[in-house]
Structure 1
């Protein structure tokens, strides 16, 4: 869904939106199957490590389902509205959104490494790059406001761009959730980042 959602901002075809939205049903179905499977496991028969592993898998599945929801209910809806209102993003905005999507796909691969082989290095990179994505969102927001003030883009286009960037950042937060758990257990991250 992450990969196919890239096309929502370039294409002018509602069929592309429908295709992405239909994938959400598959994600929901898979999430339900994982929930049923994990809940059938007798927790008293598990070691502490196995219980933690089961928890990590459940957290990962929940976050993937939430990502599907964001793509379906936010990004696809924004794309449908963009097409209906004939809003076209400037080339620079499309490049930025494509770069953010590529980062998300890279982060998803890292998250799978964190889950499957408990890769602490991948977890560290995932958390560090999440902070970079937060800074990118801040930079893009400031730039959009400058462009809006200068009359370089319309308010509708600016709002659309900011909404897309915000939702992509939310997706990244769900992707990196597993890394936090592993880093906290390994002593690489405080349970709370508040000082």
Structure 2
């Protein structure tokens, strides 16, 4: 009798708890960090064996730096889509991606520091400097996205704020232009092509124009006391400011290329004339 009662008790427990196994398993999986995911991934291209061959080592560092640029692109896209969809998870994903950017940028710096610069010729030294500078600028961009853009997006979502239709369109246009400029900066860094570098430098005029136009439109909506504009004024202007800062970091990759080609002064004169 005791055995039968014990068996019956176990069967009842199984009937009660069996349906809960799958949901509980899913909950545990969701709460447990995926250590095999991209966030935990380290450098892919920094081959220590290549350090004895500076051109090969610089090629490896350049590939890793382009990878950092791709991650920064994901950060921009996630922040924009978080704003579009009011999706907190997309905004929060930026924090882990920025940690990865920081790790990779530090690994690139340590890798380059192991190269003996005294034996490098002129073009190789230029490649060394260009790679280091671009990696540092990408890290700065990641910090702006993580510390400012994504947090402003979170504030908008948590406070249930809405941009005006016009304001939302203006911010999205500047985001998309910034994402395009990141892709162009990647191409400029990879090719070191003066024509591409000039295109990137001239995009600064586009960004400046978008920021000024949006600010004027925003102030006009404020004057008309548009409800959504009144609630989101600081967010709108701060997003424009930070996107402009990001573009300044991206466009800087063009400076040494244009200077080497004797085109930097020409580009600056064009900018002065456009003011």
Question: Where on the TM-score scale, by shorter chain, does this alignment land: which range?
Answer: over 0.9
1:177 aligns with 2:252: yes
Provide runs of 4+ in structure 1 moved above 3 Å: 191-195
| Matches of 2:246 and 2:187, distance apart in 1 | 18
Give the match's secondary structure for 2:264: coil
Q: 1:179: Cα distance to partner?
A: 0.5
Matches within 5 A, 1:1-195: 1-152=75-226, 153-190=228-265, 193=268
| Cα RMSD after superposing both structures | 1.9
Cα deviation code 1:45-96 (max 9, x no counterpart): 2111111111001111011000100000000111121122211112322222
Matched residues, number: 195
**TM-score, normalization by structure 2:** 0.67
Larger radius of gyration between Structure 1 and Structure 2: 2
Contact 1:184–1:191, Cα closer than 8 Å, also in 2: no
| Matches of 2:212 and 2:104, distance apart in 1 | 34
**TM-score, normalization by structure 1:** 0.93
Q: 1:193: Cα distance to partner?
A: 4.5
